[in-house]
Amino acid sequence: MADVVVALPEALRGELKEPLGAVYTDADALLSAAGRPIVAVGDVVTAHLVGAGVHPAVAVVDGRTERGAVDPEVAAAIEGFDRRIAVENPAATLSADLLAALSDAVDRPGSVLVRVDGEEDLAALPAVLVAPDGAAVVYGQPGDGMVLVTVDEARRDRCRDLLAAMDGDADRLSAILER
């Protein structure tokens, strides 16, 4: 059973539909605007970036897209990572395992694939907190494209506010990410 640190309350769901950055439909255009390192959240986003010739430093995937299994071509495209980490993370939550894996992966040399048993939808928020200034966090916006978040203190503040509004232990979340 996963050790859930915070969970998404119903009241916050609408607020998370608003993208945290610019939305792109073309991976090459996104990559030309993206800083480094790149942290990708989502199978389809990761497959698009790999297909465009760039392996994200960190990719967080769960084998699903828009509530269904990813196509076999998408799953097959997510290859070539230096290291793999498996974590559990139930839907609409952030588990201690996922938070620790993100924090650890950003600091590691090479590329890391974090394979989530459950759901990775909220992983972009803590990814913005652990990524260095100028890094790119890329996640999918269902029906619209890929969101590019260029990490800076204003984006971190927004993500901190969203995470603090979740149900659970915000202090523990911060402690895990700041280790």
86-138 tens-digit pLDDT: 999 999 999 999 999 999 999 889 999 999 999 999 999 999 999 999 999 99
pTM for the structure as a whole: 0.96
Q: CB of 63 within 8 A of CB of 93?
A: no
Other beta carbons within 10 Å of 68: 7
Q: Quick one: pLDDT at residue 106?
A: 93
Q: Quick one: pLDDT at residue 116?
A: 97
The domain ranges of the chain are: 21-177
Long-range contacts of the stretch 21-25 (C-beta < 8 A, 24+): 21/147, 21/148, 21/149, 21/150, 21/155, 22/147, 22/148, 23/141, 23/144, 23/145, 23/146, 23/147, 23/148, 24/145, 24/146, 24/147, 24/148, 25/144, 25/145, 25/146
Q: Quick one: pLDDT at residue 179?
A: 61
Distance CA 94, CA 177 (A): 12
- Average pLDDT of adjacent 10-residue blocks, the chain of 179 residues: 94 93 96 97 96 96 85 91 97 97 93 96 97 97 95 97 96 90
